Structure 1
Amino acid sequence: MSSDRIPTADLLFASTVMTELDREQQRYNALMESGLLEMEQIPPFDEAVQTIVRALDVPIAVVGLLDREWQLIKARALDPQEDLTALTALQRTKRGESFCTHIVETHQPLVIRDTAVHSDFANRLLVGRYGVRAYLGVPLISSAGDCFGSLAVMDLAPRRFRKSEIQLVELTARLAMLEIERLYAPATTTATTVKERPTPEVKATQPEQILSTNQIKTELLDRLLQELRTPLTSVMGMTSVLNREIYGPLRRKQKEYLKIIHDSGQYLLSLVEEILLLRDLNDTSVVLSLTSVDMEMLCQQVLKNLEPVAFRREQQIDIAVESVDRIWTLDKDRVQQIAYHTISHIINAADTGCTVRVRVNRTVEDDMELSVWISHPWLGESLPTGELEIWELPVPTPIPTEEIDETEVTDGDRGNDWDDNASNRQTIELLPELQKMSLDRSRDRLGLLFACQLVRLHGGRIAVQGSPTMGYRYVITLPDRG
């Protein structure tokens, strides 16, 4: 055996060191590419520290990002009743002094009941100069698995952090990172795109200048909407945690108020999603982007977005799609908008306690037919009364309560009756009628008109169909482009 051969143990050690160095380099590169180190203010981090200070009743919460040599403080929340003037001026700590280093290297929370008696941390700067005695820090991990730093809470006296408190800080850290990536990842792409564009000529035409201004305005609106998500997500996360009574039992009124706050946040978030869906739709193009669409999955996605709206009105949404009628060749984005605005319109027009029914089936001409109507305990199956009055259609006679027997009529019976009497249905085309009306500018009415325009672009039609005996429905017919 050669005397200069490197021992296996040394090779393994060198390999481990190189792996750790590679991992740290990858983490640092990802942190630099995120642009977070250059930002002076990061709203999701500010929201996170403020939330945690209030929820855990601690005097100190900070977000720190770890570069190669320093932990940089990017957000802090300090109890004004405590003398924390020295911490106010703290902008960074050396990596070797930072508690955050341990968290980044292990990707695990660091929980210390009393730092003064901890052999590894008793002599750190935070303990000796700033009087920190209890510490809880959790990693800030990106979707790619890179740990950028930590969200930490600290107390000036020894404290045993409960498991529920650790979980809350971890949840807040995850929500903050999700918002960071949602807000700033698109911004990075946009910035790169703008930078790579050639410099426009000085003699730009006026329409091009207007287009540029409109693009900037649209992008600004998009950023504002994205930022609106941050406090909404925090509110919903915190109310959900409190509702689980992690911090002790709640009185009945407290539960009621928390439910109102959570439901309102969910509703606002659904409105933000609606606006962003509109933002993403290229409705100026007449060219269809055709793809295979699973209508059951598409309807379930629409249902998910509209559930908070229906819940506020004590309504349910029932979707029926036959397995043989699921897959169609359509413009997915446009069809999703058509379904969303039509169903949303019915939800807002219907009374409380209704069931909004959505049905997808195949016509005899092999077109896709999407029908929307309501089921009411004593008004039966039809469109909401207000919609019938708009189209000057007869309102169903209320059914006496003693005659109602839901067990006698099934969804299958309703569908069969409707299909068997197709030739007897009255039909009113919506788009020509809406264009003739002096349209009120309510959101749901505009949404219905928007759906009509998208149906027309797709080569289909939307109409009121039915009869006094069968009831009336909004029926959307779209040709299968396959």
Structure 2
Amino acid sequence: MRKPLFCIWNNESIQLRENKRISAIQNLNLSQEKIIPVFEEATQTVANCLNISVSCLGLLLETEYQIKSVYGLSNLGLMNTIAKTRKISRDDAFATHVIDSESYLVMENTLNDSFFSRAILTQHYGIVSYLGVPLTLFNGVCIGCLEVMDTTARKFTTQEINFMVITARWCMAEYERNLLTTSNNNVAQYLNNAQHINQSSLTKKVANISPISSVIPQNNNNDQEKYIKLLSYQLLNKLTQKLSIPLTSVIGMSSVLKQEIYGKLNSKQLEYLQIIHDSGQEMVTLVNEINKLATFNAEVNLEYVPVDLENLGKQVLKSLETIAHSRDHTLILSIEPGQKVWKLDREKVKKTLYYLLITIIESSRTGSEIQVHISKKKEYLKINCRVTHPWLGEGISSEKISLYQEVLNNYYNLSLDNKLNKKTSKQNTYEYDLICLLFSGYLAHLQAGDISLQGSSESGYRFIISIPIQ
């Protein structure tokens, strides 16, 4: 029995998808014949953890499926053709079906399948059981497959499938992170290529809406755009560094399970499996945000569209659920009665709130309650973000409060100066939460608004986003 296959429905032609995949492989320098340590580690890890004969990681290039890393291929016969050439026709590879569908493929016994029982891998190499999962880049392009196979029938558990999926995501994220951190020039080039590849998936512009210039002087637009892009790249670096935290949990906990210290599934194993799941989810959230930042429109000009603030707030909080849950935070949204649809630059408002909440989540004491209240004061959108703790009262430490106030004050003083070197010299030492706050504040400034920190140690502190409504 196998998991049914399907083809993703979209408006892209087959040739366009092929071109995007080949371009992505070339941009990642994966078309060259070289040993990639993280791929080797991935294939060896899944083979050992699943206790299976063969594990492969390969890429689909035009008419061939090329194997970049393999473990145990000699189990299919000494000096077999695949072992010698490290490639197989795309029509003969099971991985082709995984890549085309962008979903995992499970076969417990190929001999019982009317289609796969006639395949070369089954007839000539004796493959009976198979599990393959897609290798997907941060921009959503599927370039290859991580797969395991055996010469005997086998049933794959849900835990084993999830482990394969997480390992595939981990090894690709690790490879991309290494590529991103090689040099600043490589970062810019890679992001530009990735944005070009993924441009067809960008959100369509609202019809017949003309961009309205912000109040920032037009002669400063070049410096403003350079600065916002620089902040974007700094955030990308911080996000990729953050990937190491959940990935440590994924690898560490899987190693414990692999050693079978606890035997069959018990409470301790279930606890570790939950950690693996939550860490994988957090990794996916971070990778998705890298994808969004790479395609984020950082132009100074604003595009005003009708925005349902309640829906926007729910979307932002939903996207942060996993990160907040990992720190035992609770996110609460409220909005004042009355009109909820106002004209704003939707994407910039969304990013402004998202990264301010990231700052708050990162800096708040474990178990805090983060309250987001949306209201309208005259012609301004006001978003109040307050943190409380059930036992300690104020959720943000006093050290962080003073630091955030200093960052906001210094930023608005520096925003009057066009010398980018002076602005960015100190930012290179900022932690992740400070870069997020700076990015959020700058986006608010682009919209002719600001972010302020108000309150006291007795009454509590709150961030307030103020953005004029068109």
User: TM-score band, normalised by the shorter chain?
Assistant: 0.5 to 0.7
Give percent identity, aligned residues only. Answer: 25
**Structure 1 match to 2:398:** 386
Structure 1 SS opposite 2:444:
helix
Indicate which of 342, 346, 354 corresponds to 1:328. Answer: 342
- Residues 260-291 of structure 1, C-alpha deviations (whole Å, 9 max, x = no match): 454445445555555555555555x5432322
- C-alpha separation in 2, matches of 1:116 and 1:462: 63
Structure 1 SS opposite 2:52:
coil
Structure 2 SS opposite 1:459:
coil
CA contact (8 A) 2:373 2:384 kept: yes
**Structure 2 match to 1:254:** 269
- Residues 162-212 of structure 1, C-alpha deviations (whole Å, 9 max, x = no match): 575896699689979x98xx999984774899xxxxxxxxxxxxxx9xx99
- C-alpha separation in 2, matches of 1:339 and 1:33: 32
Amino acid at match of 1:31: E
Q: Are residues 1:136 and 2:151 paired?
A: no
With over 3 angstroms needed to count, the CA separation of the structure-2 counterparts of 1:54 and 1:231, relative to structure 1, is farther
Q: Point out which structure has higher relative CO (alpha carbons under 8 A, 6+ apart).
A: 2
What TM-score comes out, normalization by structure 2 length? 0.57
Q: Are residues 1:289 and 2:303 paired?
A: yes
User: Within 5 Å, which residues of 2 pair with 1:17-166?
Assistant: 27=14, 30-31=17-18, 34-35=21-22, 39-40=31-32, 49=43, 52-62=46-56, 72-79=65-72, 85-87=78-80, 88-93=83-88, 98=92, 100=94, 111=107, 113=109, 124=120, 128=124, 132=126, 134-136=128-130, 153-156=148-151, 158-162=152-156, 164=158
What TM-score comes out, normalization by structure 1 length? 0.56
- C-alpha separation in 2, matches of 1:95 and 1:389: 57
Q: CA deviation at 1:460?
A: 2.5
- C-alpha separation in 1, matches of 2:344 and 2:69: 50
Amino acid at match of 2:308: D
**Structure 1 match to 2:372:** 358
* Structure 1 unaligned regions, length at least 5: 1-25, 194-207, 392-427
CA contact (8 A) 1:295 1:326 kept: yes
With over 3 angstroms needed to count, the CA separation of the structure-2 counterparts of 1:229 and 1:63, relative to structure 1, is same
Root-mean-square deviation (Å): 6.1
**Structure 1 match to 2:213:** none
Structure 2 SS opposite 1:86:
coil
**Structure 2 match to 1:200:** none
Structure 2 SS opposite 1:89:
helix
Q: CA deviation at 1:371?
A: 0.5
With over 3 angstroms needed to count, the CA separation of the structure-2 counterparts of 1:121 and 1:368, relative to structure 1, is closer
Q: CA deviation at 1:142?
A: 10
With over 3 angstroms needed to count, the CA separation of the structure-2 counterparts of 1:77 and 1:451, relative to structure 1, is same
- C-alpha separation in 1, matches of 2:320 and 2:252: 22
CA contact (8 A) 2:380 2:468 kept: yes
**Structure 1 match to 2:465:** 476
With over 3 angstroms needed to count, the CA separation of the structure-2 counterparts of 1:293 and 1:83, relative to structure 1, is same
Q: How many residues end up aligned between the 2 structures?
A: 388
- C-alpha separation in 2, matches of 1:189 and 1:454: 20
Amino acid at match of 1:301: Q
**Structure 1 match to 2:389:** 376
Q: CA deviation at 1:41?
A: 6.5
Q: CA deviation at 1:315?
A: 1.7
Q: CA deviation at 1:54?
A: 3.8
- C-alpha separation in 2, matches of 1:337 and 1:119: 48
**Structure 1 match to 2:444:** 455
Q: CA deviation at 1:94?
A: 5.8
Q: CA deviation at 1:461?
A: 3.6
- C-alpha separation in 1, matches of 2:45 and 2:242: 16
CA contact (8 A) 1:429 1:462 kept: no
**Structure 2 match to 1:401:** none
* Structure 2 unaligned regions, length at least 5: 1-12, 178-189, 200-221, 415-425
With over 3 angstroms needed to count, the CA separation of the structure-2 counterparts of 1:152 and 1:347, relative to structure 1, is closer
